């Protein structure tokens, strides 16, 4: 049986870009990135299972369930190939989707992805999960961002509205407790990552207070790595123009990834 997962579809063209938010987010956090893409492709921004309008998706909570849900929805839409963009937990979801169904994933753009190393700021994520008002949400997002970044008020408003739905905050608290048990997260084995043949770009802010950018060290040969100087964990909100530019470049990449690691700073 297929269960509904909410998605906002915008734009047009032959290329499809799937946007997967991080823990405690919703598809709307991509709005500024989508605006910078300027309709040049079809974007599908999901509310992942257990979040927002996908709150009641069965057995929500794990990246595996989310990846399976997204792949099933794409299949139901008749989309055989898409470029995946995932932030934080959404990066883990995108990676698992590529491992589960590599022919459906044209490229991966991973923004501070979860599951790439054991270290995680458990206390901050658990506090974020329990944040039930705009002031608490804003404070947590500010701590996740670089000191020079401004937390978008539209994001604060939308997340506060999301958490007003009955059961949402309780579900996030349970997710966070499982995800950060003993202040560690589950790790996707490097040998599994090495099987990915599509182009992969990993983008990490050097001021990330949630997941250390050292998780981008020693990735498989062929992964492209982009360190963004003086940017925190919230890349879609902190630097949407840069994210949109990277996504556009990944969409244009046609060749298989090369067996060397490229690194650049900005």
Task: Kindly state the tokens that stand for 14.
Answer: 């032959």
Task: Kindly state the tokens that stand for 4.
Answer: 């509904």
Res. 256: pLDDT tops 80: no
Three-state DSSP at 172 gives helix
pLDDT at 2: 59
pLDDT digits (tens, 9 = 90+) for 182-210: 999 999 999 999 999 999 999 999 999 99
Task: Kindly state the tokens that stand for 53.
Answer: 């309008």
Q: What mean pLDDT comes out for the span 8-24?
A: 96
pLDDT digits (tens, 9 = 90+) for 205-228: 999 999 999 999 999 989 999 999
pLDDT at 259: 43
Res. 258: pLDDT tops 80: no
* Non-local CB neighbours of 74 within 8 Å, separated by 6+ positions: 18, 44, 82, 104
Residue bearing tokens 């978008």: 152
pLDDT at 4: 82
pLDDT at 265: 47
Res. 250: pLDDT tops 60: yes
Task: Kindly state the tokens that stand for 149.
Answer: 């970044």
Please report which confidence band the pLDDT of residue 254 belongs to, taking 50, 70 and 90 as the band edges: low
Res. 172: pLDDT tops 70: yes
For 128-154, letters b (16+ CB in 10 Å) and e give: bbebeeeebbbbbbbbbbbeebebbee
Other Cβ atoms within 10 Å of 175 Cβ, number: 22
pLDDT at 260: 42
Q: Could you give the CA distance from residue 12 to residue 138 in angstroms, rounded to a whole number?
A: 33
Res. 126: pLDDT tops 90: yes
Find out whether 93 and 113 touch, Cβ atoms under 8 Å.
no
Task: Kindly state the tokens that stand for 80.
Answer: 């055989």
Res. 121: pLDDT tops 50: yes
Find out whether 29 and 236 touch, Cβ atoms under 8 Å.
yes
Q: Could you give the CA distance from residue 165 to residue 210 in angstroms, rounded to a whole number?
A: 26
pLDDT digits (tens, 9 = 90+) for 38-91: 888 999 999 999 999 999 999 999 999 999 999 999 999 999 999 999 999 999
pLDDT at 107: 97
């Amino acid at each position: 049986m297929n269960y509904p997962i909410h998605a906002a579809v915008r734009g047009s063209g032959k290329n499809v870009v799937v946007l997967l938010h991080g823990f405690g987010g919703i598809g709307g956090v991509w709005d500024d990135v989508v605006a910078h893409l300027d309709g040049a492709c079809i974007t599908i921004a999901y509310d992942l299972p257990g979040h927002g309008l996908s709150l009641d998706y069965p057995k929500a909570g794990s990246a595996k369930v989310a990846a399976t849900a997204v792949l099933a929805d794409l299949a139901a839409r008749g989309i055989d190939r898409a470029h995946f963009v995932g932030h934080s937990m959404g990066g883990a979801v995108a990676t698992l989707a590529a491992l589960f169904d590599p022919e459906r994933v044209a490229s991966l753009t991973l923004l501070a992805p979860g599951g790439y190393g054991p270290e995680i700021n458990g206390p901050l994520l658990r506090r974020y999960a329990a944040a039930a008002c705009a002031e608490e949400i804003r404070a947590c997002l500010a701590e996740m961002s670089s000191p020079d970044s401004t937390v978008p008020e539209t994001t604060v408003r939308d997340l506060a509205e999301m958490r007003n739905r009955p059961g949402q905050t309780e579900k996030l608290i349970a997710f966070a407790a499982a995800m950060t048990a003993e202040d560690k997260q589950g790790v996707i084995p490097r040998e599994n990552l090495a099987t990915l043949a599509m182009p992969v770009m990993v983008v990490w802010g050097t001021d990330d207070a949630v997941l250390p950018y050292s998780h981008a060290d020693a990735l498989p040969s062929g992964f492209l790595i982009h360190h963004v100087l003086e940017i925190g964990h919230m890349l879609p909100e902190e630097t949407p123009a840069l994210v949109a530019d990277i996504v556009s470049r990944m969409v244009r990449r046609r060749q298989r990834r090369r067996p060397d690691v490229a690194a650049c700073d900005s």
